[in-house]
C-alpha cells in the first residue's frame, strides 16, 4: 500500500490536516473504507505513528495516540516500533508520550535491539524510565 493522506500529513507535521482527517466522520469513514486507517502502513511497514514519532511531530503523536484501535507497538519492515524510531532519532517528547500510553520499550527489532538500546543519552533514558513508572501507576 502506498502513502495515504493521513500518512503524508503526519509525516509533514501538518497537525491541522491530521486533526481534520481524523475528526470528520465522513472523511474518516472514507479513509477507513479505502484502507487508510490510523494503522495503515507504507511499503516499509511504517504507520503514521512511526512517521510522526520519527520526525518529532509531538502534537500529531498525541493526536494519533487518542485514536481508538491505534497499534502503539506496530513494527515496520525492520521490526522497529514507533517508540524505537523516536528513540533512534532523539525525539524524547514523542518517546515519552508513547511510553506514557503503554508502548513497550523492550520489544526488539530484527537486529535484536530494543528502544532502550538506541536512546542517545542517559538523560533521555532517565526521562523514559520515569514515564514508564508513571504509566505503571502507584506500586503497593
Can you list the domains of the chain with their CATH numbers? 5-136 (1.25.40.20)
d(CA 47, CA 100): 19
Using DSSP, state whether 114 is helix, strand or coil.
Answer: strand
How many angstroms from the chain centroid is the CA of residue 99?
Answer: 10
Task: Express each pLDDT in 17-70 by its tens digit.
Answer: 877 776 554 554 455 456 557 898 888 999 989 988 998 888 888 878 888 889
What is the structure's pLDDT at 28? 44
Amino acid at each position: 500500500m502506498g502513502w495515504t493522506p493521513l500518512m503524508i500529513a503526519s509525516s509533514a507535521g501538518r497537525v491541522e490536516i491530521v486533526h481534520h482527517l481524523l475528526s470528520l466522520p465522513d472523511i474518516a469513514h472514507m479513509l477507513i473504507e479505502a484502507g487508510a486507517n490510523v494503522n495503515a502502513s507504507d511499503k516499509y511497514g511504517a504507520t503514521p505513528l512511526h512517521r510522526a514519532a520519527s520526525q518529532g511531530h509531538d502534537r500529531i503523536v498525541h493526536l494519533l495516540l487518542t485514536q481508538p484501535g491505534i497499534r502503539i507497538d506496530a513494527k515496520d519492515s525492520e521490526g522497529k516500533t514507533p517508540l524505537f524510531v523516536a528513540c533512534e532519532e532523539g525525539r524524547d517528547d514523542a518517546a515519552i508520550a508513547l511510553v506514557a500510553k503503554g508502548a513497550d520499550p523492550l520489544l526488539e527489532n530484527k537486529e535484536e535491539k530494543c528502544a532502550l538500546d538506541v536512546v542517545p543519552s542517559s538523560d533521555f533514558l532517565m526521562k523514559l524510565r520515569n514515564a514508564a513508572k508513571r504509566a505503571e501507576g502507584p506500586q503497593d
